[in-house]
Amino acid sequence: MRALVRAFDRFLCRATGVFEFCDDPECLLRLQWARAPRDLTLSDGARVRTGAPVLMIHLWNEHLPHPGANGPDLQWAARIHRMLRHSLGEVARWLAEQLEGHRVEAIGGITVLAFSADGRPIPLIRHLGFDVFPYRRALGRFGEFWENFYTWAIMWTFNPASLQGRSLLRLRRAEIWMSRETFLHRYGPDRIPKSPQ
């Protein structure tokens, strides 16, 4: 079953244009060129109009470190934090070198990492500099169920311990966004963190 989920994930990535931009085993992110789904007003004052070019970030599931036998702990969380900062630095370096990257107005994504298993906000995403917005599902509750099912299957396949305390029907998503200017200022080439140990 896990092999089937892995194969479907690879197919979905190819079909939606999600790509690997580097070969760093410490990188937790893949990328996708996209268009802003709606108007956004970000905390730095930037305004992104519907349809503007954006860069979407996606977790690179195969690179996620596995928690210990007792599930996620502080040591695991600290490693994830270091790897995410390193990965965002790699994205900034890559974006600054891309001709198409100069047109990008914001960097964003959709994640379940903004909320804990009991639905409380997790400070990590805002600590990384992203604005957090409610996720607007295109297909309502029907779409929510299938997105939750897919996310649960991905977590079960690549990192089963991360499901601890999480219910299929209670997974919550959020949109996260940062303007290109703020992203490059925060993570740009002269600020790239050292590779995590």
Which residue has 């917005």 as its token pair?
Answer: 133
Residue 14 CB partners (closer than 8 Å, separation 6+): none
Residue 62 belongs to domain spanning: 2-190
Q: 172 in helix, strand or coil?
A: coil
In a domain? residue 102: yes
Q: What is the DSSP string of 88-137?
A: HHHHHHHHHH-TGGGG--EEEEEESTTB-TTSPBPTHHHHTT-EEEE---
pLDDT per residue as tens digits for the range 135-189: 876 666 666 666 777 666 666 666 666 555 555 556 677 889 999 999 999 998 7
The Cα 107–Cα 185 span in angstroms is 13
Which residue has 């892995």 as its token pair?
Answer: 6
For residue 115, the cross-strand partners are 121
Q: Which amino acid appears at position 161 of this protein?
A: A
The Cα 30–Cα 20 span in angstroms is 5
In a domain? residue 196: no
In a domain? residue 172: yes
In a domain? residue 94: yes
pLDDT number for residue 194: 46
Ordered mean pLDDT values, 10 residues apiece, the chain (197 residues): 66 79 93 95 96 94 74 76 94 92 94 67 85 78 68 65 58 87 90 46
Strands 106-111 and 53-59: parallel
Residue 174 CB partners (closer than 8 Å, separation 6+): 110, 111, 114, 115, 125, 132, 133, 134, 135
Number of domain units in the chain: 1
pLDDT number for residue 29: 95
In a domain? residue 197: no
pLDDT number for residue 154: 66
Q: How far is CA 56 from CA 14, 69, 77, 105, in A?
A: 15, 32, 23, 11
